[in-house]
Amino acid sequence: MEHVDDELLAALALGDDDELTAGERAHVAGCDRCRLMVDELRGTLALTRATADSGERLVAPGPGVRERVLSAASVPAPVPPAPRSATRSALRRVPAWLAVAASVTAFGAGGVAGLLIAGNGDESPSTPVAVVVAKTELSTLSGDAARGSAQVVRGDGRTTLQVRATSLAQGGGTHEVWLINEDGKRMVALGFLSPQDDGSFLVPAHLLAEGYRIVDVSVEPDDGNPVHSGTSLARGRL
């Protein structure tokens, strides 16, 4: 016979024996697993009553502890809210280690082409041909080896980031493209590069105006984890 359902065993532990059929009671009497469960449930019942009777409560630590914990993990506190206008589902907070690397790149990288994005809502829907509005050379994080290039193209009412990376080979894993905000706090995943390490990604135009200008290529293990792996193969600032 199958074991008796835990809820019925709980009824037994609470003294509601008549909730069980004669067959169920007979099973419990002869089954080590079910008897043990009833014993444990009785133990939990006594523990819960004793806890309630003692009037004990959880005691929160003082507010200073939270600050010290978060600062030890270099978390900026309080946590700023995500920007209203950005696509929320795709936004990620940038881990502390990545933010540091991002700011280094922001100040250290060259290769900045004329960025023609003046602000919001300046797109001309009648732009006849695609125009390169920003571009960058990609390099390793240390900046000592070239890793291809990326450019932002606007035309036909859409903005596209085109990436052509080179020499990324890093064993297994897929190469994913991210835009990191210059504030070092926010990032957005754009998608994966082809096996040839090139790719073209639609970018909401306002993201660039909001400071998402650091192109990052990471290697992602196939682990179902949507967060940046922490391993950047190439980077450049638009």
Partner 1 sequence: MLRLSSGLRSGDPHSLAQIYDRWSALVHTVALRALGNSHDAEDVTQQVFVSAWQGRHNLTPSERAFPAWLVAICKHRVADRRAERAREARRVSAYAAAGHALTDVGGARDIEESVDRVVVLQTLDELGDPRRAILRLAFYEDLTHEQIAQRLGMPLGTVKSHVRRGLVQLRSRVQEVRDGTR
Binding-site ranges for partner 1 (CB under 8 A): 6-11, 13-14, 16, 40-41, 43-45, 47-52, 54, 56-62, 64-66, 68-70, 72-77, 79, 92-93, 95-98, 225-230
Find the shortest distance in angstroms from Cβ 167 to partner 1: 26
- Two structure tokens written together for 61: 């630590």
6 or 198: whose CB is closer to partner 1?
6
CA distance 186 to 238: 16
Q: Do residues 155 and 131 lie in contact, with contact meaning Cβ atoms separated by under 8 Å?
A: yes
Helical packing angle, 6-13 and 22-30, nearest 10°: 90
Closest to partner 1 by CB, 145 vs 227, is: 227
Q: How many residues does the chain have?
A: 238
Complex with partner 1: residue 77 or 145, whichever CB lies closer:
77
Shortest distance, position 28 Cβ to partner 1, whole Å: 15
C-alpha to C-alpha distance for 208 and 150, rounded to whole angstroms: 14
Q: Which is nearer to partner 1, 64 or 172 (CB)?
A: 64
Give the DSSP H/E element, type plus range, for residue 150.
Answer: strand 146-155
Please state the closest distance from residue 137 (CB atom) to partner 1, in A.
28
Residue 121 CB, shortest distance to partner 1, in Å, is 31
Please give the order of strands across the beta sheet that includes 158-165.
Answer: 91-93, 186-192, 174-181, 212-220, 232-237, 131-139, 146-155, 158-165, 198-202
* DSSP-based three-state secondary structure for 98: helix
- Smallest gap from residue 131 Cβ to partner 1 (A): 37
Taken in order 116, 120, 124, 125, the sign of the CA dihedral is: positive
Closer to partner 1 by CB, 182 or 220: give it. Answer: 220
Which residue lies nearer to partner 1 by CB, 80 or 110?
80
Least distance to partner 1, CB of residue 150, Å: 24
Of 157, 137, 125, 152, the closest CA to residue 212 belongs to 152
